[in-house]
C-alpha cells in the first residue's frame, strides 16, 4: 500500500506531458523544480515520508527503479512513457530523477 502511494507521488511529480518535455529539454531536476515552485508540497512529502518505518523504506528501495516506473507509465500514462522512451536521454534522465527522489525521501 505504501509502495503504491510512493510510486503515485513520483508519477504525479512528473506532471503533464508538456511539463515532462520541458523538463527533459532543459535537464530539470523535478525535485529541485518542485522545491522552487511549491515548497509546501515538498514539506508535506518530507513529513509523510518521515513516518514510514526504515524497514519499509528498504523494501520500497528494492522495487523503486526505472523499469518499474516505465512499466507504470506505459500502463497508466502512455503519453509520458512515449515521451521518455522517444527521447535519447529520457531513460537516463528518469534514472537520475529516481535516484534524487530516493536520496531525498527514502
Q: Please compute, for residue 88, the number of CA atoms within 13 A of its CA located in the half-sphere on the CB side.
A: 0
Ordered by start, the domain boundaries in the chain are: 2-105
Residue 101, classed as helix, strand or coil, is helix
Q: Which residue has the cell 502512455?
A: 78
pLDDT tens string 71-100: 999 999 999 999 999 999 999 999 999 999
Q: Is this model's pTM higher than 0.75 or not? A: yes
pLDDT tens string 29-69: 998 888 888 778 788 888 888 888 888 888 877 788 999 99
Q: All 3 cell numbers of residue 67? A: 523499469
Q: Of 65, 68, 77, 67, whose CA–CA distance to 15 is shortest?
A: 77
Amino acid at each position: 500500500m505504501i509502495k503504491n502511494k510512493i510510486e503515485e507521488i513520483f508519477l504525479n511529480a512528473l506532471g503533464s506531458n508538456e511539463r515532462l518535455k520541458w523538463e527533459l529539454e532543459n535537464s530539470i531536476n523535478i525535485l529541485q523544480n518542485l522545491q522552487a515552485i511549491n515548497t509546501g508540497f515538498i514539506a508535506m512529502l518530507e513529513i509523510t515520508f518521515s513516518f514510514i518505518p526504515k524497514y519499509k523504506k528498504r523494501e520500497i528501495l528494492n522495487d523503486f527503479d526505472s523499469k518499474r516506473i516505465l512499466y507504470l507509465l506505459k500502463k497508466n500514462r502512455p503519453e509520458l512513457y512515449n515521451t521518455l522512451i522517444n527521447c535519447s536521454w529520457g531513460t537516463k534522465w528518469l534514472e537520475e530523477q529516481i535516484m534524487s527522489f530516493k536520496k531525498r525521501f527514502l
